[in-house]
Structure 1
Amino acid sequence: MLIMASVDNLTPRRFAPAFPNVEANRYLLDYVKVHHPEFYPGGALSSQPACDGGGVHYTGLYYACCVVAGNIWHPMEGRDSTKYEEYDHPFLSTSRDPSDREARLTIPDDEIIRPAPIGKAYFFPVPSNTNHRRYAIVPSFDHRIPPDGVKIKIPAPWLSLDPLHDDPNSNNSYRSYRECFATLASSSPQRPSPQDLICCLTKEYLSVDFCRVIPKSEERWFIGNDMQKYSTSNDQHNGPLNRICNVMPFRLDALGYFGQGHLSLVPKLDKSTGLYTLPTHAVRYPKELLNPRGRLQFHDIFHNYLLYPHPIKWIPVEYLFTRFAWTLFSDQVMTLLNDAKGVTFPPAPS
């Protein structure tokens, strides 16, 4: 005998959130582009959607250019300085001329760089370069050499991430989650089941799996640059890129976007505390999201959220910075080489 459920016991349908208003949020669909002084007009060193309230946070934009230009960041971060020698280091400018000091971009109090006004453009000049406006770039992630920690150190925003930062509203389930990772980071050979974890972005248990911070596709680069020396876990049998210190749990939709490089993790300064946080950052919109509403919904759901537990608790800062750099070498972000079809680059170092 088939027993029908009472209408009174049915769960009310939960509707998806309303689509964002395109006209009211069109400023989020614009792009902030920074060009190489020698190759303009043309593609950009870095082209990122204006997801941070109609612009891009300065930290992510400045270091994106520095990475593509070959790890040439400076502690002053190209900010305004009264010191004459500061002009020997790269900075954002509205002029292609590296000697034009008056054109140095003034960084707003909110640290957000808006798109260049109509008729103008942003450039990334390197005054110390002997060839005036021309300087070399790194053509692909395979060609990139990571900071060695001696001559070139990891940038300060990444090094200053606070490992004690955590969710102030954490509950018992989060405490057990942190205990789980504490065990995994030890010499325990047990690998967690995805069903035992929650997404560190959405805080949901459903459809969660692991995503590598440094992708499996970059294993040759990883081994060739001896990145294993930064590993903080001993689960040797899982392979160098499958260790606990290189994985993060995400809900499957977030995992797809993070795994494909649409989402990055970028330190942003919290001026109320003077500390850097590490939220998600939409470095590029998925190509399949052609509808503006889809792109705005992607922004609303995935951009600028803190992850809990804080990734710095179990992932080496060298891996987090590598992850940031990896997302930049996309034909949607570094568009400078999009017209260089047929150009042959020297092979990446073995």
Structure 2
Amino acid sequence: MSPSTSSLARLPKKLNEQWEQHLDPFETLLAENLTVPPDAVTVAASLDGVMLPMKDGKRQEKREKSVAEGKRTRGPAGCQEASCGTLSFYDDQGDRLSTIRMGRMPESKKATLKKSLSNLLDKVLQQKPNLTLVKVADGARDNWTYFTKELPEGEEIVDYYHAAEHLKKAFDLAYGENSAKSKEKFSTYRHILKEEPGGVEKIIKALAYQHSKHPRRSKLKTELKYFRKNRLRMNYAEHLSRNLPIGSGVIEASCKTLVTQRMKCSGMRWRCPGGQGILTLRSLIQSGWFDCGWMLLSVTYRAKVNMVSDNVIPFSSGKGNIER
């Protein structure tokens, strides 16, 4: 006999009910049993989100509201943002050694995920306090509010590849989208941003000049503000010289493997309890914590039996012994 499809579909939700009831002690025990790689000199914390289709996302209401307001009805109506967090360890050459991944269903300001990430980082730094802490993410304001105010002091780095996308957009706005001049400038200044000390200041100077030539291009001004706002988080040449990570590829990949590949297949829509069951189990597996997590979870289903009921039928073990 094999389990039915409906039973397998219910299983993650039921397991998650038990996990969520014991979330704090379970995560504390997992963190206490974490062994930081011996060669690790850097730990990088990252946050990101991915839009997930939800059954209770009020999709129809949002579309009707858009129609009533004369807005376009295309787009991810009925989707909400699931969140992912990672802690990655790097050696002195900048090579990644291991990564702990965690995911949460949509929640206001990623509150539970941020708490879990903070607690885990505290345990890591207690075990190895001389680690260099790097906080790397895209330019989302909420991420940096959390990194700056709630995590210990460390290096703050805006993902270089997101910064390069903004740089490309800025030159497209100045010279024409995908024009030869735009491509030439982007190629030159992308190298300056990444490789030259103080490269971001040269970027700001170049974009400020273009804005002075085209003062009515409000989107160009927006890109200039982006670089000015994040200039202290864009010292890429210095970070590379210290073999620190400057990209958020690990968290981007985690969003893909934890959420997108499993939970955004054709026709799928989710509610939080069922979706969180999937994310919790996948997080444990991808972090190498499944055996430990399953041991903690299985204990909640065990009960000590002090006596055997009279109506229990004994059976043979096949070795001539009678067992109950």
TM superposition score category, shorter chain reference: under 0.3
TM-score, structure 2 length as denominator?
0.22
TM-score, structure 1 length as denominator?
0.21
Between the two structures, name the one with larger relative contact order (CA 8 Å, sep ≥ 6): 2
Larger Rg, first or second structure (1 or 2): 2
